[in-house]
C-alpha cells in the first residue's frame, strides 16, 4: 500500500499507457485509434518528465541563491527530449489526420468493419 | 573532409527544401535537384568509406560540444558501409522514378521528390548518428516520409499506410521509452558512453526492460516475424517507384540499428549471456523465413509475392544477427548489401512491367521474356541470386549464414536455410516459366509491351549487373570492410 | 465548418486579439532561454492566430491575406535560416551548428552561441508556423 501512494505518478503513467494501447487496438473507429496513439505518447512524455524532477529543486534558470549546485535545479535534458518528441507527435497526428481525410473521401466511412467490407467490394 | 559525417544527411535535408521552393517554378527542377542531392550524398558516403578503410573512423561533434554532453556522429566501418549502400540504391531508384511517377501520380510530382529526399535524409541520419535520441528523431523523420509516400497510390494505399502509421508510431514510442529507461539508469545518451556504464548495471531490471523495448521497436521497423504485419499491404499498394525506394533500404536500416544496438550499446556479452535476447531473435527469424516463403508461393500478384519474399529475406538477416557469431554477422551484413540490390532490381522490374502493361498479375506475365528482354534478363539474374545460385550474390551471403549456423552447432538453422532456398526457387521459377516458356496471349498482354525507356531501363539493368558484380567480388567486400566490423566479436 | 460566421462580435474580437496573440508569440520565441518557450511553442501560437482568423472571418477572405502559398514560402524560409546558421560555421572552421564560429563581428564566443540559438529558434518558429497553417488549410479546406 505504501508504494502505491509513493509511486502514484508511475501508476498514472502505466494506466495511461494501457488506456492508449486499448484505444489503438480495441476501438474500431480509425479516429479513435489516432486518439489512442496520442494518449499513448502523452504517457511516455509523462514518464520522462517524472524522471527529471528532484526533491526540493527549482526550474533550471540561474538563481543566485543556488548558484552552481546541480542538485538545486531539475534536470533540463529530459524536458528538451520531450519537446522534440512532442513535435514528432504533432507531425504524426497531422499525417494520420490527412490519411483519414483521404480514406473518408474514398470510402465514406471511418469504421473499420465497414471499411474492410467496402475495400473488398472495390477492385 | 572531417565534416563528412554531418554532410551526408544534411545535403539531403537541404535539397528537400530547395525542391519545395524550386518545384514551384519548374517541375522538372525537382527531379534534377533530387538527383544532385542523392549523388552528392553518395559521393560523400563513398569518400567516408574510403577514409574509414584507409585510416580509422571519423567522429564528429555536433555544435562543437564534446560528448557525452553533445551529440556525436560517427563514421566507422559499419556505418560507412551502410551509408554507401543506402545512398547508391536510393539514387539509382530516384533516377528510375521520374517516368514511373509521371505515369502513375503526376499531380504529386514535386512533393514526392521532397518526401523522398526527407526519407533518405532520415535513413542516412540513422546510420551516421552515435546518439540514442538522435536516432529516434531521424527514425521518425524517415517513417513519416514513408507513411506519406506510401499513401499516394491506388485505392487501398491510404488504409495500408494508416496501418503502418499506427504500428510504426507504437514502435517509435517503445523506442523512446526504452531510451528513457537507459538514460535514467546510466545518465547518458551517447552510445559509447552508455556501453561503458552498462556493465555495472547488469543486474538491473530497468536495463532488461530497456533492451526488450528497444529490440521490439526496432524489430517492428525491420518487419521481423511476427512483427511484419504492415509490410505486405504497404508494399503492394504503394506506387512502383515508392516501393522501389522504400523496400530495399528502409527495413535494412532498421536491421543496421539492431546490429548497432547489439555491437556498440548493449555489448554482445550482455545479450548472449545475461539476457539471452539474441537466440530469441534467431528463432523468430527462422520461423519468419518459412512463413515468408510459404506465403509468397500462395500469391497471384507479383508485387505481393515480392513483399512476402522480402519478409523471408529480412528474416535471413535476423537469423544472422541472432546467431551472433562472426560468420553469422558477416552473412547478415553481406545479405543486407545483396538484398538491397536484388530487391531494388526486382521491384524496379515490377515497375517496368506496370509501366508497359498496366498490371502485375503473375498469370498475365506470359511471354514477356521476348517482348522485354533486358528487363527480364535483370529479373532472371536477381531471381537466381535470391534463390542462391552462384556466382550471383545471394549464394555467398547464404553461404556465410550456413557457416555461421554450423559454427553455432545449430543444425535446425542449416535445414531452414536450405529448405527455404528450395521454396524460393518454387515461386521464382513459376514466374520465370510464365515469362520465358509461355507464348504471349494477345488479349492479356498489350501489343506495345517492350522495354521501358532508358531512364527506367538503365537503373534496372545496372542493379542486375551489380548483383553479379557483388557476387564475384564478395571476397573483397568481406575482407576489407566486414571483417573490420565483426572484429569486436572475435 | 466553412464560410464566415457573419457575426459582428466574433469578427471584432478576433481582429482585436490577433495582434496581441502574435506579439505574445514573438515573446515566447525570444524568451525560450529563460522560461517556458522556444521556437516550436512560439510557432504554434503564431499558427493559432492565423487559424483564429480563418475560423472567424471565413476562408475566402483570409486566403487573400495569408495564402497557402505564402505559408509554404514562410516554412521554406525558416528551414533555410536554420540550415544557413548550421552550415555557415563549416566555412569558418567550426563544426555543424557550432555558433561560436558565426561570422558576426564584435561578439565573443559565448555571446555568439547565445545569438546563434536565437537565430535558429526564429527559423524553427517560422517553419512551425508555415507547416501548421498548411496542415490546417488542408484539413479544413477539402470538400466532404
For residue B446, tell me if it sits in a domain: yes
Give strand pairing partners of B58: B75
**What count of CB pairs under 8 Å joins A to B?**
71
- Cell digits of residue B178: 526504452
Q: Is C123 on the interface with A (CB under 8 A)?
A: no
To the nearest whole Å, the CA of B244 is away from the closest chain C CA by 28
For residue B390, tell me if it sits in a domain: yes
Give chain A positions within 8 Å (CB) of C34: 61
To the nearest whole Å, the CA of A80 is away from the closest chain B CA by 11
A56-77 pLDDT, tens digit per residue, is 888 887 778 877 777 888 888 8
Give chain B positions within 8 Å (CB) of C96: 3, 6, 10, 60, 62-63
- If phi > 0 it is left, if psi is from -120 to 50 it is alpha, else beta; for residue B63 that is left
Angle, alpha carbons B10-B13-B18 (nearest 5°): 120
Identify from A32, A46, A88 which residue to disrupt to test chain B contact, counting B C-beta atoms within 10 A and taking the largest count: A88
Query: Is the Cβ pair B140, A91 closer than 8 Å?
Result: yes
To the nearest whole Å, the CA of B3 is away from the closest chain C CA by 7
> Which whole-number Å values give the CA distances from C44 to A86, C50, C124, in the listed order?
12, 10, 10
For residue B177, tell me if it sits in a domain: no
Nearest to B167 by CA among B204, B132, B219: B219
Give chain B positions within 8 Å (CB) of A44: 173, 176-177, 180
> Which residues 37-56 of chain C have a CB within 8 Å of chain A?
38, 40
- Residue B126 is predicted with a pLDDT of 94
pLDDT at C3 over 50: no
Query: Is the Cβ pair C83, B20 closer than 8 Å?
Result: no
Tell me how many domains chain B contains.
1
pLDDT at C99 over 60: yes
Domain extent, residue B456, equals 276-490
Query: Is the Cβ pair C135, A61 closer than 8 Å?
Result: no
Angle, alpha carbons A86-A88-A91 (nearest 5°): 110
Query: Is the Cβ pair C138, A87 closer than 8 Å?
Result: no
C54-67 pLDDT, tens digit per residue, is 888 776 767 777 88
Question: Please, which pLDDT band fits residue C1 given cuts at 50, 70 and 90?
Answer: very low
Average pLDDT over chain C, rounded to whole?
83
Instruction: Please give the model's pTM, rounded to 2 decimal places.
Output: 0.92
**What count of CB pairs under 8 Å joins B to C?**
39
Q: What are phi and psi of B75, to 5 degrees?
A: -110, 100
A3-44 pLDDT, tens digit per residue, is 666 778 888 999 999 999 999 989 999 999 999 999 999 999
Query: Among A48-57, B140-149, C42-51, which stretch is predicted with the lowest mean pLDDT?
Result: A48-57
Query: Is the Cβ pair A61, C35 closer than 8 Å?
Result: yes
- The full set of domain ranges for chain C reads 8-141
Query: Is the Cβ pair A44, B173 closer than 8 Å?
Result: yes
Of A21, A77, A95, nearest to B144 by CB-CB distance is A95
Residue, of C99 and B220, whose pLDDT is higher: B220
Partners of chain B (3+ Cβ pairs below 8 A)? A, C
Nearest to A45 by CA among A92, A22, A12: A12
Query: Is the Cβ pair B169, A92 closer than 8 Å?
Result: yes
Q: Determine the Cα–Cα distance for residues B76 and B195; give it in Å rounded to an integer.
A: 16
Query: Is the Cβ pair B63, C79 closer than 8 Å?
Result: no
Of A24, A30, A44, nearest to B176 by CB-CB distance is A44
For residue B361, tell me if it sits in a domain: yes
For residue B404, tell me if it sits in a domain: yes
Query: Is the Cβ pair B144, A92 closer than 8 Å?
Result: yes
**Is residue B383 a contact partner of residue B431, using CB atoms and an 8 Å limit?**
yes
> Which residues 95-114 of chain A have a CB within 8 Å of chain B?
95-96, 98-100, 102-103, 106
Query: Is the Cβ pair A98, C138 closer than 8 Å?
Result: yes
What ipTM does the predicted assembly reach? 0.93
Tell me how many domains chain A contains.
1
Number of other CB atoms surrounding residue B35 within 10 Å: 17
To the nearest whole Å, the CA of C61 is away from the closest chain B CA by 24
Residues of chain B with confidence (pLDDT) below 70: 439-449, 488-490
Q: Is A24 on the interface with B (CB under 8 A)?
A: yes
Partners of chain A (3+ Cβ pairs below 8 A)? B, C
H or E element that contains C115: helix C109-141
Say which CATH number the domain at A40 has. Answer: 1.10.287.3510
For residue B342, tell me if it sits in a domain: yes
Q: Is A49 on the interface with B (CB under 8 A)?
A: no
Q: Which long-range contacts (CB under 8 A, 24 or more apart) does B25-32 make?
A: B27/B109, B27/B110, B30/B109, B30/B110, B30/B113, B30/B114, B31/B98, B31/B109, B31/B113
Query: Is the Cβ pair B133, A84 closer than 8 Å?
Result: yes
To the nearest whole Å, the CA of B20 is away from the closest chain C CA by 7
For residue B395, tell me if it sits in a domain: yes
Domain extent, residue A66, equals 2-121
Identify from B150, B176, B230 which residue to disrupt to test chain A contact, counting A C-beta atoms within 10 A and taking the largest count: B176
Identify from C89, C95, C124 which residue to disrupt to test chain B contact, counting B C-beta atoms within 10 A and taking the largest count: C95
Angle, alpha carbons B185-B188-B194 (nearest 5°): 80
| Cβ neighbours for B88, distance < 8 A, ≥ 6 positions apart | B42, B45
For residue B394, tell me if it sits in a domain: yes
Q: Which residues of C touch B (CB under 8 A)?
A: 69, 72-73, 75-76, 79-80, 83, 86-87, 90, 94-101
3-state secondary structure chain B: CCCHHHHHHHHHHHHHHHHHHHHCCCHHHHHHHHHHHHHHHHHHHHHHHHHHHHCCCEEEEHHHCCCCCCCEEEECHHHHHHHHHHHHHHHHHHHHHHHHHHHHCHHHHHHHHHHHHHHHHHHHHHHHECEHHHHHHHHHHHHHHHHHHHCCCCCCHHHHHHHHHHHHHHHHHHHHHHHHHHHHHHCCCEHHHHHHHHHHHCCCHHHHHHHHHHHHHHHHHHCCCCCCCCHHHHHHHCCHHHHHHHHHHHHHHHHHHHHHHHHHHCCHHHHHHHCCHHHHHHHHHHHHHHHHHHHHHCCCEHHHHHHHHHHHHHHHHHHHHHHCCHHHHHHHHHHHHHHHHHHHHHHHHHHHHHHHHCCCEHHHCCCHHHHCHHHHHHHHHHHHHHHCCCCCHHHHHHHHHHHHHHHCCCHHHHHHHHHHHHHHHHHHHHHHHHHHHCCCCCCCCCCCCCCCCHHHHHHHHHHHHHHHHHHHCHHHHHHHHHHHHHHHHC
Give chain B positions within 8 Å (CB) of C100: 64
Amino acid at each position: 500500500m505504501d508504494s502505491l501512494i509513493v509511486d502514484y505518478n508511475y501508476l498514472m503513467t502505466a494506466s495511461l499507457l494501457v488506456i492508449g494501447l486499448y484505444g489503438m487496438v480495441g476501438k474500431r473507429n480509425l479516429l479513435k485509434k489516432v486518439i489512442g496513439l496520442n494518449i499513448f505518447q502523452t504517457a511516455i512524455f509523462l514518464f520522462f518528465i517524472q524522471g527529471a524532477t528532484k526533491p526540493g529543486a527549482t526550474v533550471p534558470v540561474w538563481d543566485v541563491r543556488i548558484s552552481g549546485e546541480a542538485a538545486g535545479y531539475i534536470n533540463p535534458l529530459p524536458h528538451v527530449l520531450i519537446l522534440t518528441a512532442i513535435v514528432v507527435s504533432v507531425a504524426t497526428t497531422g499525417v494520420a489526420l490527412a490519411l483519414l481525410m483521404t480514406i473518408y473521401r474514398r470510402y465514406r466511412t471511418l469504421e473499420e468493419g465497414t471499411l474492410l467490407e467496402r475495400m473488398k467490394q472495390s477492385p | 573532409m572531417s565534416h563528412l559525417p554531418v554532410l551526408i544527411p544534411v545535403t539531403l535535408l537541404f535539397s528537400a527544401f530547395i525542391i519545395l521552393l524550386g518545384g514551384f517554378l519548374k517541375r522538372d527542377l525537382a527531379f534534377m535537384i533530387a538527383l544532385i542531392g542523392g549523388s552528392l550524398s553518395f559521393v560523400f558516403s563513398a569518400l567516408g568509406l574510403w577514409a574509414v578503410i584507409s585510416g580509422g573512423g571519423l567522429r564528429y561533434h555536433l555544435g562543437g560540444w564534446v560528448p557525452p554532453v553533445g551529440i556525436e556522429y560517427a563514421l566507422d566501418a559499419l556505418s560507412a558501409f551502410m551509408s554507401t549502400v543506402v545512398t547508391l540504391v536510393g539514387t539509382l531508384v530516384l533516377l528510375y522514378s521520374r517516368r514511373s511517377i509521371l505515369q502513375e501520380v503526376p499531380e504529386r510530382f514535386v512533393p514526392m521528390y521532397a518526401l523522398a529526399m526527407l526519407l533518405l535524409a532520415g535513413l542516412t541520419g540513422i546510420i551516421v548518428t552515435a546518439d540514442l535520441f538522435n536516432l529516434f528523431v531521424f527514425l521518425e523523420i524517415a517513417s513519416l516520409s514513408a507513411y506519406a509516400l506510401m499513401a499516394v497510390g491506388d485505392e487501398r494505399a491510404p488504409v495500408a499506410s494508416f496501418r503502418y502509421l499506427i504500428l510504426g508510431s507504437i514502435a517509435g514510442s517503445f523506442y523512446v521509452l526504452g531510451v528513457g529507461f537507459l538514460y535514467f539508469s546510466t545518465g547518458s545518451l551517447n552510445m559509447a558512453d552508455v556501453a561503458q556504464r552498462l556493465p555495472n548495471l547488469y543486474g538491473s531490471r530497468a536495463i532488461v526492460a530497456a533492451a526488450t523495448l528497444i529490440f521490439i521497436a526496432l524489430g517492428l521497423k525491420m518487419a521481423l516475424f511476427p512483427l511484419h504485419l504492415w509490410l505486405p499491404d504497404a508494399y503492394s499498394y504503394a506506387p512502383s517507384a515508392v516501393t522501389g525506394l522504400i523496400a530495399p533500404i528502409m527495413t535494412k536500416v532498421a536491421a543496421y540499428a539492431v546490429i548497432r544496438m547489439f555491437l556498440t550499446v548493449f555489448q554482445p556479452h550482455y545479450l548472449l549471456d545475461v539476457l539471452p535476447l539474441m537466440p530469441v531473435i534467431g528463432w523468430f527469424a527462422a520461423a519468419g523465413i518459412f512463413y515468408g516463403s510459404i506465403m509468397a508461393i500462395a500469391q497471384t500478384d507479383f508485387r505481393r509475392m515480392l513483399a512476402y519474399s522480402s519478409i523471408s529475406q529480412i528474416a535471413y538477416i535476423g537469423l544472422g544477427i541472432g546467431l551472433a557469431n562472426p560468420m553469422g554477422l558477416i552473412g547478415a551484413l553481406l545479405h543486407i548489401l545483396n538484398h538491397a540490390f536484388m530487391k531494388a532490381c526486382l521491384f524496379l522490374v515490377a515497375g517496368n512491367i506496370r509501366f508497359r502493361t498496366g498490371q502485375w498479375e503473375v498469370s498475365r506475365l506470359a511471354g514477356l521474356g521476348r517482348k522485354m528482354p533486358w528487363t527480364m534478363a535483370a529479373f532472371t539474374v536477381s531471381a537466381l541470386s535470391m534463390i542462391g545460385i552462384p556466382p550471383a550474390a545471394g549464394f555467398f551471403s547464404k553461404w556465410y549464414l550456413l557457416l555461421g549456423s554450423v559454427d553455432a552447432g545449430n543444425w535446425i538453422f542449416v535445414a531452414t536455410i536450405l529448405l527455404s532456398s528450395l521454396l524460393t526457387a518454387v515461386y521464382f521459377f513459376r514466374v520465370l516459366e510464365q515469362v520465358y516458356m509461355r507464348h504471349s496471349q494477345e488479349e492479356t498482354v498489350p501489343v506495345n509491351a517492350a522495354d521501358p525507356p532508358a531512364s527506367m531501363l538503365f537503373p534496372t539493368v545496372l542493379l542486375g549487373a551489380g548483383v553479379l558484380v557483388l557476387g564475384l567480388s564478395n571476397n573483397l567486400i568481406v575482407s576489407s570492410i566486414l571483417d573490420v566490423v565483426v572484429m569486436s566479436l572475435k | 465548418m466553412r464560410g464566415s460566421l457573419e457575426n459582428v462580435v466574433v469578427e471584432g474580437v478576433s481582429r482585436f486579439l490577433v495582434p496581441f496573440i502574435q506579439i505574445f508569440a514573438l515573446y515566447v520565441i525570444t524568451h525560450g532561454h529563460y522560461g517556458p518557450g522556444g521556437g516550436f511553442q512560439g510557432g504554434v501560437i503564431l499558427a493559432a492566430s492565423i487559424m483564429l482568423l480563418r475560423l472567424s472571418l471565413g476562408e475566402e477572405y483570409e486566403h487573400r491575406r495569408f495564402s497557402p502559398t505564402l505559408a509554404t514560402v514562410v516554412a521554406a524560409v525558416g528551414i533555410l535560416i536554420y540550415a544557413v546558421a548550421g552550415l555557415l560555421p563549416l566555412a569558418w572552421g567550426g563544426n555543424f551548428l557550432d555558433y561560436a564560429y558565426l561570422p558576426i563581428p564584435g561578439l565573443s564566443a559565448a555571446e555568439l552561441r547565445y545569438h546563434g540559438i536565437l537565430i535558429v529558434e526564429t527559423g524553427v518558429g517560422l517553419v512551425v508556423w508555415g507547416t501548421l497553417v498548411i496542415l490546417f488549410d488542408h484539413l479544413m479546406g477539402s470538400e466532404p
